[in-house]
Amino acid sequence: MTHTSFSLPQRMIVTGAQSGIGRAVAQAAVDAGGTVLGIDRHAPSPLAEPAPSTSSSPGRFIARIADVTDAAALDEVFGRAAETLGGAPDAVIHSAGIYRQAPVGDMSLDEWEHSMRTNSTSSFLVARGASRIMTGGSLVLLTSIAYARGDWFEPCAAYAASKGAVVSLTTQLAAELGPRGIRVNAVAPGVINTPMTTITQHEHATAGLLQRLPLRRLGEANEVAAACLFLSSAAASYITGAVLPVDGGFLVS
Ligand code: NAD
């Protein structure tokens, strides 16, 4: 049997759905006729109306305000997700996260713990919730190429370490959950033009960065969303445990 279809999952949970990459994932899934349960700590502004030609069935976006570091809040959202979505989710994409930069000597323990909790611990909590309700399908976690590169353009040890933990989690969970038909992959963006990326406001740094990038430009949220959705689709049915860079070539530069 071959799978060449890029048809998207019909029932999806997306964290960080209010902004940037998570929002682009939610928008694309709704445009394709899917039902999306979007989680964010901020109330979501409405998604754009899907273009009439993109799908024969109208998609649906259901917003839940929750902090992804709050175990009880997440357990409640996941506990009700099947009822909310009309069935177990086919895909979960965990995009909520924060970026903090600081030289290590200036970094407080609180800042370190905040990064670890928001990026690493939340990945565990989302994966735990997903594993309890999914009967198959795909989990995608967002890491960053910063986990693998010491020559990032600014010091961000806590962020990089918090995203390294996401890669380890992906490896272990792919092995653990594969026998249940749940694929687990990570997407590793480079520098993407979203509200998280203040670098775009610093022309000088941006120019230097662009010279290092083989594709000579920053990425866009929809380009990362496309990778998340590919990994969530039937087209990726034999891919698990992978870390897919979406970085304009940063890792090979
Ligand atoms: P973004 O800031 O545009 O969006 C992040 C979303 O996560 C926001 O809506 C925010 O409210 C939500 N969020 C943050 N903390 C939360 C919490 N505790 N509970 C619930 N929601 C919370 O960022 P983005 O650029 O879309 O980044 C998405 C993911 O991609 C993140 O995990 C980020 O680390 C990763 N990433 C981004 C880049 C980049 O250049 N933008 C690069 C590498 C990795």
Q: Is 184 in contact with 231 (CB distance < 8 Å)?
A: no
The one-digit pLDDT tens for each residue of the chain (253 residues) are 444 456 889 999 999 999 999 999 999 999 999 999 999 999 877 777 766 666 667 799 999 999 999 999 999 999 999 999 999 999 999 999 999 999 999 999 999 999 999 999 999 999 999 999 999 999 999 999 999 998 877 899 999 999 999 999 999 999 999 999 999 999 999 999 999 987 666 776 778 888 989 999 999 999 999 999 999 999 999 999 999 999 999 999 9
Quick check: helix, strand or coil at residue 176?
Answer: helix
Among residues 32, 1, 4, the alpha carbon closest in space to that of 235 is found at 4
For a ligand 1 pocket test, name from 167, 194, 202, 228 the mutation site with the most ligand atoms within 8 angstroms of its C-beta: 194
φ and ψ at residue 18, rounded to 5 degrees: -80, -20
What is d(CA 26, CA 253) in angstroms, rounded to the nearest whole number? 31
Ligand 1: which atom is nearest the Cα of residue 146? 43
Q: Which atom of ligand 1 is nearest to the CA of 21?
A: 26
Q: What's the half-sphere exposure (Cβ side, CA atoms, 13 Å) at 216? A: 0
Residue nearest to ligand 1 atom 32, measured at CA: 97
Cα-to-centroid distance, 12 and ligand 1 (Å): 18
* Pairing state between β 11-15 and 219-220: unpaired
Domains of the chain: 11-252 (3.40.50.720)
Q: Any long-range contacts for 193-197 (C-beta under 8 Å, 24+ apart)?
A: 193/218, 193/219, 193/220, 193/221, 194/19, 194/20, 194/21, 194/221, 195/19, 195/20, 196/19, 196/20, 196/97, 196/98, 196/99, 197/99
Question: Which residues, judged by CB distance below 6 Å to any ligand atom, belong to the binding site of ligand 1?
Answer: 16, 18-22, 40-42, 67-69, 95-99, 118, 142, 144, 189, 191-192, 194-197
242 CA distance to ligand 1 middle (Å): 20
Dihedral Cα 7, 10, 12, 16, nearest 10 deg: 60
pTM (two decimals): 0.96
Report, as residue numbers or ranges, the catalytic residues.
159
Instruction: Give yes or no for a contact between 63 and 43, defined as CB atoms under 8 angstroms apart.
Output: yes
Find all residues with CB under 8 Å of 253, minimum gap 6, and list them: 212, 213, 214
Residue to probe by mutation, ligand 1, list 14, 21, 201, 243, most atoms within 8 Å of CB: 21
**Residue whose CB lies within 8 A of the most ligand 1 atoms, among 25, 166, 196, 247, for a mutation test:** 196
Quick check: 101 and 86 in contact, CB under 8 A?
no
For the chain, the farthest-separated pair of C-alpha atoms sits apart, in whole angstroms, at 56
